[in-house]
Amino acid sequence: MNSGTLYIVATPIGNLEDITFRAVRILKEVDLIAAEDTRHSRKLLSHYGIARPLTSYFDHNKNIKGSYLLERLAEGTSVALISDAGTPCISDPGYQLVRDAVAAGIAVVPIPGPSAAVTALSAAGLPTDSFTFLGFLPNRQGKRRERLAGLAGEGRVLIFYESPRRLLATLADLRDTCGDREVVVARELTKVYEEFVRGCLTEVIELLQNREIRGEVVILVAPATEENTADIASSAALLRRYLLAGSLSLKDAVARVVRETGLPRGEVYAEALRLKESQHDQ
């Protein structure tokens, strides 16, 4: 018996018209559709008159349901994997299913379409020749700042997803760890209230701080400049010297570097945490 095919089908990120003819055809033809949230997906399927069997596949049932889907595929069933919005497997469950299907010799066919990260980048007005997508940042501020400090010298555009309730905190952490560089906040992409907010981090924070933010958010950060990179390298060298000497606590070493360089305390502190963590790993 020939095995079935696993289709990775991109669905709209907002406007229901943002779906390809091919995606609609595949969804009408497959034997089974695996959706992140079946209630949410039924709205899309109903809009296009798609009446195919539907099953759930999300982060908390991916192991059990993944085995079920692989069994069905091995039996010859064709399956379409969709997420709540955009391209499956991009900051959404699914890569494990793809990995296991490939290992089992099952054909995996991508049906391309919307992705919030690329959609936001295309209209952001930032360099598009080189970028890095980092999904969601850690929820805890300490871990988030540590992660951002390690990216402060990155020479590519940084793209993050963020929830509305953490947006201002994340923007403040970005400013403290990466400097007051240019940023674009994109929200409600392809929906009625689509919005792009552009400016340096301080300006964007001021524009958004008294507003109720709704909808999923994409944050795009301009690449580090040579000046940014030099500042980071300088602070890191000083911190390493003071911390390795053992005569200063982390807090005192940070205070001394802030006095000597004039860099924001948050930026220096985040770099100190990153250095401490790297020393611990060694």
pLDDT given for residue 227 in this prediction: 59
pLDDT digits 0-9 by tens, 120-164: 999 999 999 999 999 999 999 988 988 888 888 888 999 999 999
**Which of 3.40.1010.10, 3.50.50.60, 1.10.1760.20, 3.40.190.10 would CATH assign to domain 5-114?**
3.40.1010.10
With vertex at residue 67, the alpha carbon angle to CA 65 and CA 68, rounded to the nearest 5 degrees, is: 60
Which residues of the chain register pLDDT less than 70? Answer: 1, 226-234, 245, 247, 262, 266, 277-282
| Nearest 10 degrees: Cα torsion 250, 179, 151, 255 | -10
Rounded CA-CA distance 212/269 in Å is: 30
Picking from 212, 220, 164, the residue whose alpha carbon sits closest to that of residue 196 is 220
pTM: 0.81
From residue 194, alpha-carbon distances to 116, 129, 184 in Å are: 12, 24, 13
Encoding tokens for residue 49? Answer: 């008159």
What pLDDT was estimated at residue 178? 85
Domain boundaries defined on the chain = 5-114, 117-224, 227-281
For residue range 10-29, list pLDDT tens digits in order.
999 999 999 999 999 999 99
CB 170 within 8 A of CB 219: yes
What mean pLDDT is reported for the chain? 89
Structure tokens at 234: 């300088």
CA distance readout (Å), 143 to 4, 19, 137, 161: 42, 37, 9, 16
Instruction: Please provide the CATH number assigned to the domain covering 117-224.
Output: 3.30.950.10
